[in-house]
Amino acid sequence: MSSLKDSIALLESDLKALPPRISVYHDLPFAILRYDPTAEWDLRREIRLLETRLLGVGKEVHIIPMSDLLWSALERVHEKDDDEGLEAVIELEKQRGFVEAQQQLTTYLSSKVWVPLWDLLAERLALLDPRNSVVFLTRVAAMSPGIFHMSMLLDKMHGKTKVTTILFYPGSIEGTTGLRFMDLKDRDALGNYRVKIYG
Protein backbone atom coordinates (compact mmCIF):
# COMPACT_ATOMS: atom_id res chain seq x y z
CA MET A 1 0.00 0.00 0.00
CA SER A 2 1.52 3.30 -1.04
CA SER A 3 1.50 6.39 1.11
CA LEU A 4 -0.91 9.22 0.42
CA LYS A 5 1.93 11.52 -0.67
CA ASP A 6 3.28 8.87 -3.06
CA SER A 7 -0.17 8.35 -4.57
CA ILE A 8 -0.67 12.10 -4.98
CA ALA A 9 2.79 12.45 -6.61
CA LEU A 10 2.01 9.71 -9.15
CA LEU A 11 -1.42 11.22 -9.87
CA GLU A 12 0.13 14.67 -10.28
CA SER A 13 2.67 13.35 -12.77
CA ASP A 14 -0.07 11.68 -14.82
CA LEU A 15 -2.28 14.80 -14.72
CA LYS A 16 0.57 17.03 -15.92
CA ALA A 17 1.42 14.72 -18.84
CA LEU A 18 0.22 15.75 -22.31
CA PRO A 19 -2.21 14.18 -22.82
CA PRO A 20 -3.02 13.22 -19.22
CA ARG A 21 -2.24 9.54 -18.51
CA ILE A 22 -5.03 8.83 -16.07
CA SER A 23 -7.33 6.82 -18.31
CA VAL A 24 -7.24 4.44 -21.26
CA TYR A 25 -10.83 5.34 -22.19
CA HIS A 26 -11.38 8.67 -23.95
CA ASP A 27 -15.06 8.52 -23.04
CA LEU A 28 -14.40 7.68 -19.37
CA PRO A 29 -11.65 10.12 -18.31
CA PHE A 30 -11.81 9.10 -14.67
CA ALA A 31 -9.34 7.81 -12.12
CA ILE A 32 -9.63 6.94 -8.44
CA LEU A 33 -7.26 8.02 -5.73
CA ARG A 34 -7.84 5.61 -2.86
CA TYR A 35 -6.91 6.69 0.64
CA ASP A 36 -7.36 5.43 4.18
CA PRO A 37 -10.59 6.92 5.61
CA THR A 38 -8.68 7.96 8.75
CA ALA A 39 -6.49 10.22 6.56
CA GLU A 40 -9.36 12.52 5.53
CA TRP A 41 -7.81 15.69 6.98
CA ASP A 42 -4.40 14.91 5.48
CA LEU A 43 -6.09 14.29 2.14
CA ARG A 44 -7.88 17.64 2.21
CA ARG A 45 -4.57 19.41 2.81
CA GLU A 46 -2.87 17.44 0.02
CA ILE A 47 -5.73 18.22 -2.39
CA ARG A 48 -5.28 21.97 -1.80
CA LEU A 49 -1.53 21.68 -2.37
CA LEU A 50 -2.08 19.63 -5.54
CA GLU A 51 -4.62 22.17 -6.76
CA THR A 52 -2.04 24.96 -6.37
CA ARG A 53 0.62 23.00 -8.27
CA LEU A 54 -1.79 22.17 -11.11
CA LEU A 55 -2.89 25.80 -11.36
CA GLY A 56 0.79 26.64 -11.78
CA VAL A 57 0.95 24.59 -15.00
CA GLY A 58 -2.25 26.02 -16.47
CA LYS A 59 -4.81 23.50 -15.27
CA GLU A 60 -8.17 24.73 -14.06
CA VAL A 61 -9.09 22.72 -10.96
CA HIS A 62 -12.70 22.33 -9.85
CA ILE A 63 -13.50 20.68 -6.53
CA ILE A 64 -16.95 19.11 -6.35
CA PRO A 65 -17.84 17.63 -2.96
CA MET A 66 -20.16 14.63 -3.31
CA SER A 67 -21.98 16.02 -0.28
CA ASP A 68 -22.93 19.07 -2.40
CA LEU A 69 -24.32 16.79 -5.10
CA LEU A 70 -26.34 14.92 -2.47
CA TRP A 71 -27.87 18.14 -1.11
CA SER A 72 -28.55 19.44 -4.63
CA ALA A 73 -30.30 16.20 -5.50
CA LEU A 74 -32.49 16.41 -2.39
CA GLU A 75 -33.43 20.00 -3.24
CA ARG A 76 -34.38 19.00 -6.79
CA VAL A 77 -36.43 16.06 -5.52
CA HIS A 78 -38.35 18.46 -3.28
CA GLU A 79 -38.88 20.84 -6.23
CA LYS A 80 -40.42 17.96 -8.19
CA ASP A 81 -42.68 16.88 -5.33
CA ASP A 82 -43.31 18.91 -2.16
CA ASP A 83 -43.90 15.69 -0.20
CA GLU A 84 -40.45 14.30 -1.03
CA GLY A 85 -36.86 15.31 -0.26
CA LEU A 86 -34.86 15.85 2.91
CA GLU A 87 -37.77 16.33 5.31
CA ALA A 88 -39.47 13.22 3.95
CA VAL A 89 -36.28 11.19 4.48
CA ILE A 90 -35.95 12.48 8.05
CA GLU A 91 -39.55 11.55 8.78
CA LEU A 92 -39.10 8.14 7.15
CA GLU A 93 -36.07 7.45 9.34
CA LYS A 94 -38.02 8.40 12.47
CA GLN A 95 -40.90 6.09 11.53
CA ARG A 96 -39.17 3.12 9.87
CA GLY A 97 -35.48 3.39 10.67
CA PHE A 98 -32.20 4.19 9.04
CA VAL A 99 -32.14 1.35 6.49
CA GLU A 100 -35.40 2.43 4.86
CA ALA A 101 -34.33 6.08 4.85
CA GLN A 102 -31.06 5.12 3.18
CA GLN A 103 -32.96 3.04 0.60
CA GLN A 104 -35.12 6.06 -0.18
CA LEU A 105 -32.01 8.20 -0.75
CA THR A 106 -30.66 5.51 -3.07
CA THR A 107 -33.93 5.61 -5.02
CA TYR A 108 -33.75 9.40 -5.33
CA LEU A 109 -30.18 9.19 -6.66
CA SER A 110 -30.62 6.26 -9.03
CA SER A 111 -34.10 6.64 -10.54
CA LYS A 112 -34.86 8.64 -13.69
CA VAL A 113 -38.11 9.61 -11.96
CA TRP A 114 -36.08 11.63 -9.47
CA VAL A 115 -32.54 12.97 -9.86
CA PRO A 116 -29.95 10.42 -11.00
CA LEU A 117 -26.61 11.29 -9.46
CA TRP A 118 -24.79 10.69 -12.75
CA ASP A 119 -27.04 13.21 -14.56
CA LEU A 120 -26.42 15.79 -11.84
CA LEU A 121 -22.66 15.28 -12.12
CA ALA A 122 -22.76 15.32 -15.93
CA GLU A 123 -24.61 18.68 -15.79
CA ARG A 124 -21.86 20.15 -13.62
CA LEU A 125 -19.10 18.77 -15.85
CA ALA A 126 -20.80 20.03 -19.03
CA LEU A 127 -20.07 23.60 -17.91
CA LEU A 128 -16.30 22.97 -17.95
CA ASP A 129 -13.69 23.06 -20.72
CA PRO A 130 -12.30 19.52 -21.05
CA ARG A 131 -9.04 20.80 -22.58
CA ASN A 132 -7.65 22.21 -19.33
CA SER A 133 -10.12 21.36 -16.57
CA VAL A 134 -9.51 18.80 -13.85
CA VAL A 135 -12.30 17.89 -11.44
CA PHE A 136 -11.72 16.51 -7.96
CA LEU A 137 -14.72 14.63 -6.56
CA THR A 138 -14.26 14.85 -2.80
CA ARG A 139 -16.22 14.13 0.39
CA VAL A 140 -17.32 10.78 -1.01
CA ALA A 141 -17.96 9.54 2.53
CA ALA A 142 -21.24 11.47 2.33
CA MET A 143 -22.54 8.45 0.40
CA SER A 144 -21.80 5.98 3.20
CA PRO A 145 -22.56 3.50 4.39
CA GLY A 146 -24.67 2.49 1.39
CA ILE A 147 -26.45 5.51 -0.07
CA PHE A 148 -24.83 5.20 -3.49
CA HIS A 149 -22.09 2.95 -4.88
CA MET A 150 -19.26 4.78 -6.61
CA SER A 151 -18.80 1.89 -9.05
CA MET A 152 -22.32 2.59 -10.33
CA LEU A 153 -21.55 6.30 -10.69
CA LEU A 154 -18.48 5.58 -12.80
CA ASP A 155 -20.36 3.04 -14.94
CA LYS A 156 -23.15 5.54 -15.60
CA MET A 157 -20.68 8.35 -16.41
CA HIS A 158 -19.20 6.35 -19.30
CA GLY A 159 -19.60 8.54 -22.39
CA LYS A 160 -21.10 11.50 -20.51
CA THR A 161 -18.02 13.73 -20.22
CA LYS A 162 -14.54 14.38 -21.55
CA VAL A 163 -13.44 16.30 -18.44
CA THR A 164 -10.59 14.67 -16.51
CA THR A 165 -12.13 13.66 -13.18
CA ILE A 166 -10.51 12.20 -10.08
CA LEU A 167 -12.66 10.44 -7.48
CA PHE A 168 -11.05 10.58 -4.03
CA TYR A 169 -12.17 7.26 -2.56
CA PRO A 170 -12.01 6.57 1.20
CA GLY A 171 -11.47 2.87 1.67
CA SER A 172 -9.15 -0.09 1.45
CA ILE A 173 -7.89 -2.05 -1.52
CA GLU A 174 -7.68 -5.81 -2.03
CA GLY A 175 -5.55 -7.01 -4.91
CA THR A 176 -5.23 -4.42 -7.66
CA THR A 177 -8.85 -3.35 -8.18
CA GLY A 178 -10.93 -4.55 -5.21
CA LEU A 179 -12.10 -1.50 -3.27
CA ARG A 180 -13.93 -1.63 0.05
CA PHE A 181 -15.80 1.63 0.68
CA MET A 182 -14.96 3.31 3.99
CA ASP A 183 -13.08 0.10 4.88
CA LEU A 184 -16.39 -1.33 6.15
CA LYS A 185 -15.68 -4.93 7.12
CA ASP A 186 -19.19 -6.14 6.24
CA ARG A 187 -18.84 -4.76 2.71
CA ASP A 188 -17.40 -6.86 -0.11
CA ALA A 189 -14.47 -5.36 -1.99
CA LEU A 190 -15.80 -4.43 -5.42
CA GLY A 191 -13.44 -4.97 -8.32
CA ASN A 192 -15.37 -3.88 -11.39
CA TYR A 193 -13.70 -0.50 -11.72
CA ARG A 194 -12.50 0.12 -15.29
CA VAL A 195 -10.39 3.10 -14.31
CA LYS A 196 -6.88 3.55 -12.98
CA ILE A 197 -6.60 3.35 -9.19
CA TYR A 198 -3.90 5.31 -7.37
CA GLY A 199 -3.11 4.16 -3.85
Q: Where are the domains of the chain?
A: 4-198
What is the rounded CA–CA span in Å between residue 143 and residue 13? 29
pLDDT digits (tens, 9 = 90+) for 152-162: 999 999 999 99
The percentage of the chain sitting over the pLDDT mark of 90, rounded to a whole number, equals: 78
What is the rounded CA–CA span in Å between residue 81 and residue 188? 35
Q: Which alpha helices (H) appear in 23-85, and where do they start and end? A: 40-55, 66-80
Q: What is the DSSP letter of 38?
A: G
pLDDT digits (tens, 9 = 90+) for 65-78: 999 999 999 999 99
pTM for this model (two decimals): 0.92
For residue 1, pLDDT over 60 is answered with no
Tell me which range, 13-17, 141-145, 176-180, is most confidently predicted by mean pLDDT: 13-17
Q: Beta strand pairing status for 164-174 and 30-35?
A: parallel
Q: Are 106 and 146 in contact (CB under 8 A)?
A: yes
Q: What is the mean pLDDT of the chain?
A: 92
Q: Which residue has the higher pLDDT, 144 or 63?
A: 63
Q: Which alpha helices (H) appear in the chain, and where do they start and end? A: 4-16, 40-55, 66-80, 86-96, 98-110, 117-126, 150-157
What is the rounded CA–CA span in Å between residue 11 and residue 164? 12
Least confident window among 15-19, 63-67, 191-195: 191-195
